[in-house]
């Protein structure tokens, strides 16, 4: 074996293996025989080869020890150069570690754990700082992308806001651009108040399951206006995708029929018949629809009157009562 350092540094021949009650017995190349101690092993011990020796030899006999040395020299067993270099590095590292002022500290392990935690927290702080920096760069980029969309749709002209932009700024909805474009293109102008409420429900409604989404849309003017909205939605979606913006979700016509029936005077039980909507769900959806209609009625355009009348049609019964309670 090769002993990495200390007083016994070098090659040693193992005469007896260690066991529970005795340490290994070895002979160094100067023919000295001793048992290895923990201090002898602190620099590392490596097996470098094996020798086949004749029986009957004793470490107490000088001639026998010479026989062992001759067998070792004839075997060609020697330490690997790379291993020796690595051992030297390890020895230097261990020496430096023991020479460090912290090595003799009684609370060394506790301090090491605290240091590891501090290093981890520092890495987390650096990671968070990078995230903030990335998001800081995202904000102006997103702003420029939004301006590009608004410019293509003529809502802004350079740094100036166009009249259409003034209208857009008065609409607070996830679908504000779709609402504004629908008003500009006058696709709702020929609708009755009940039909307008029905069509607008496709903007505020989002089905929670497939059964809700499968509810039919009333034919005639409502269906045609809904198709026109889907055409406008697709154009906006394409423009947003082109500018790498998050696109608005699709329209959901699952509430159009129930809304039309309610605006036409049907009772709540009649409206909810053959639907998966609960009374609470319907009331919540109507409140959102009323909010959108109120915004449209406040605009200075031909649609304002129809939106105001639609608000009156919806705000009755349980819907009116829920608004009073709220």
Domain residue limits, the chain: 2-103, 156-325
Give the integer Cα–Cα distance in Å for 304 and 298.
6
How far CA 313 is from CA of 184, 187, 300, in Å, comes to 25, 21, 21
How far CA 33 is from CA of 14, 15, 84, 275, in Å, comes to 10, 9, 23, 96
Q: Return the pLDDT at 288.
A: 95
Cβ 262 vs Cβ 314: under 8 Å: yes
- Sole residue written with tokens 């394409």: 238
pLDDT band at 81 (very low <50, low <70, confident <90, very high): very low
Nearest C-alpha neighbor of 223 from the set 253, 183, 190: 253
CA angle 112, 118, 124 (to 5 degrees): 140
Structure tokens at 167: 């209208």
Indicate the pTM of the whole model. Answer: 0.59
How far CA 10 is from CA of 48, 84, 162, in Å, comes to 11, 10, 89
3-state secondary structure (DSSP) of residue 213: helix
State which of 27-41, 94-108, 166-180 shows the largest mean pLDDT: 166-180
Q: In this structure, how many other beta carbons lie within 10 angstroms of the beta carbon of residue 212?
A: 17
Q: Which residues pair with 157 in a beta bridge?
A: 160
Strands 45-46 and 33-35: unpaired
Give the integer Cα–Cα distance in Å for 121 and 114.
11
The DSSP H or E segment spanning 191 is none
Q: Return the pLDDT at 68.
A: 77
Structure tokens at 64: 């026998």
Q: In this structure, how many other beta carbons lie within 10 angstroms of the beta carbon of residue 222?
A: 25
CATH no. for 156-325: 1.10.3380.30
Q: Which residues pair with 289 in a beta bridge?
A: none
Q: Return the pLDDT at 82.
A: 45
Q: Has residue 40 got a pLDDT over 80?
A: no
- In tens, the pLDDT along 178-226 reads 999 999 999 999 999 999 999 999 999 988 766 555 567 889 999 999 9
Q: Which residues, 6 or more positions from 67, have their beta carbon under 8 angstroms from its beta carbon? A: 53, 54, 57
pLDDT band at 233 (very low <50, low <70, confident <90, very high): very high
pLDDT band at 72 (very low <50, low <70, confident <90, very high): confident
């Amino acid at each position: 074996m090769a002993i990495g350092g200390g007083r016994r540094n070098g090659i040693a021949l193992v005469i007896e293996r260690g066991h529970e009650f005795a340490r290994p017995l070895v002979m160094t190349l100067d023919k000295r025989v001793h048992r290895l101690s923990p201090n002898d092993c602190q620099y590392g011990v490596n097996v470098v080869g094996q020798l086949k020796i004749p029986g009957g030899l004793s470490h107490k006999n000088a001639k026998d020890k010479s026989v062992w040395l001759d067998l070792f020299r004839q075997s060609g067993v020697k330490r690997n150069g790379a291993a020796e270099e690595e051992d030297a590095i390890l020895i230097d590292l261990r020496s430096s570690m023991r020479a460090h002022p912290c090595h003799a500290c009684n609370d060394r392990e506790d301090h090491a754990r605290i240091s590891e935690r501090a290093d981890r927290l520092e890495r987390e702080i650096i990671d968070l700082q990078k995230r903030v920096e990335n998001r800081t760069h995202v904000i102006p980029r997103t702003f420029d992308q939004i301006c590009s969309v608004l410019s293509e749709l003529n809502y802004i002209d350079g740094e100036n806001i166009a009249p259409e932009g003034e209208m857009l700024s008065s609409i607070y909805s996830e679908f504000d651009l779709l609402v504004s474009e629908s008003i500009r293109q006058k696709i709702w102008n020929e609708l009755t108040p009940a039909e307008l409420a029905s069509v607008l429900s496709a903007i505020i409604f989002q089905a929670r399951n497939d059964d809700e989404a499968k509810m039919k849309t009333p034919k005639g003017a409502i269906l045609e206006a809904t198709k026109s909205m889907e055409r406008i939605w697709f154009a906006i979606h394409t423009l947003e995708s082109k500018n790498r913006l998050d696109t608005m979700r699709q329209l959901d016509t699952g509430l159009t029929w129930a809304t039309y029936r309610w605006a036409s005077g049907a009772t709540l039980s009649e409206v909810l018949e053959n639907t998966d909507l609960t009374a609470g769900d319907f009331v919540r959806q109507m409140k959102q629809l009323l909010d959108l209609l109120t915004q449209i009625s406040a605009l200075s355009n031909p649609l304002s009157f129809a939106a105001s009348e639609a608000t009156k049609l919806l705000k009755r019964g349980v819907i009116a009562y829920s608004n009073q309670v709220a």
